[in-house]
Chains A and B, each alone.
Chain A
Amino acid sequence: MTDQESRDREHARARAEREATHGSDTPDDYANADPNGVGPIPSSSALTTPDPADATISGSGVGAFGGRGKVRIGDKVFRYLTAGAGMFVCILITLVAVFLLAKAIPSIANDKVNFFTSRTWLVSGSTLQFGIVDLLWTTVLSSVFAMLLAVPVAIGIALFITQYAPRQLARPVAFVVDLLAAIPSIVYGVFGITVFAPKLHGIIDFLNRYLGWIPLFKKQISDPGTVFAGGIILAIMILPIITAIAREVFERTPRENVEAAWALGATRWEMVRLSVLPYGKPGVISGAMLGLGRALGETIAITLILVAPPSGAPFSPSLFYGGETFASKIANAAAEFNNPTQTGAYIAAGLVLFVLTFAVNAAARIVVNRRREFS
Chain B
Amino acid sequence: MTAAAPTTLAGSSKGGVRAFKNTLATVLVTAAFGIALIPLVWLLWTVLSKGLKTITQSGWWTSSQRNITYRKPGGGVWHAILGTAEQVLLCTLISVPIALLVGIYLIEYGGGRLAKLTSFMVDILTGIPSIVAALFIYAVFITTFHGQRAGIYVSLALVMLMVPVIVRTTEEMLKLVPNELREASYALGVPKWKTIVKIVVPTAFSGIVTGIMLGIARVAGETAPLLILVGYSPDTNSNLLSGFQGSLPGMIYAQVPQLGNIRYHYAADRMWGSALTLIIIVMALNLVARLVARRSKVSN
Contact = CB atoms under 8 A, between A and B. Distances in A.
B172 interface: yes
28 contacts: A47-B179, A48-B111, A49-B111, A52-B192, A89-B118, A89-B163, A90-B117, A95-B136, A96-B132, A103-B143, A156-B28, A176-B36, A182-B286, A191-B46, A236-B39, A268-B5, A268-B7, A270-B18, A297-B128, A297-B129, A299-B130, A304-B256, A327-B129, A331-B228, A334-B227, A343-B143, A357-B127, A357-B129
A77 B193 contact: yes
Nearest to B32: A156
Interface stretch (A2-10, A116-124, A211-219): A2-10
A109 interface: no
Interface in A75-90: 75, 77-79, 81-90
A183 B11 CA distance: 43
B132 A297 contact: yes
Which range holds the interface residue count of chain A?
A: 35 or more
B25 A350 contact: no
B186 A53 contact: yes
B128 A270 contact: no
A290 B168 CA distance: 15
A97 to B, nearest CB: 9
Contacts of A304: 256
A45 B116 CA distance: 13
Contact of A43 (B35, B47, B179): B179
Nearest to A232: B39
B35 A153 contact: yes
Interface in B94-116: 97-98, 101-102, 104-111, 114-115
B199 to A, nearest CB: 13
Given A52-B192, A89-B121, A44 B252 contact: no
A29 interface: no
Interface of A: 2-4, 6-7, 9, 11, 39-41, 43-45, 47-49, 51-53, 56, 71, 74-75, 77-79, 81-90, 92-93, 95-96, 99-100, 102-103, 152-157, 159-160, 162-164, 166-167, 173, 175-180, 182-188, 190-191, 194-196, 236, 239, 243, 251, 255, 258-259, 262, 265-272, 290, 293-294, 296-300, 304, 327, 330-331, 334-335, 337, 340, 343, 346-347, 350, 353-354, 357-358, 360-362, 364-365
Contacts of B29: 156-157, 159-160, 163-164
Contact of A300 (B118, B144, B249): B249
Interface in B192-231: 192-197, 207, 217, 220-224, 227-228, 231
B30 A185 contact: no
B26 A269 contact: yes
B300 interface: yes
A187 B135 contact: no
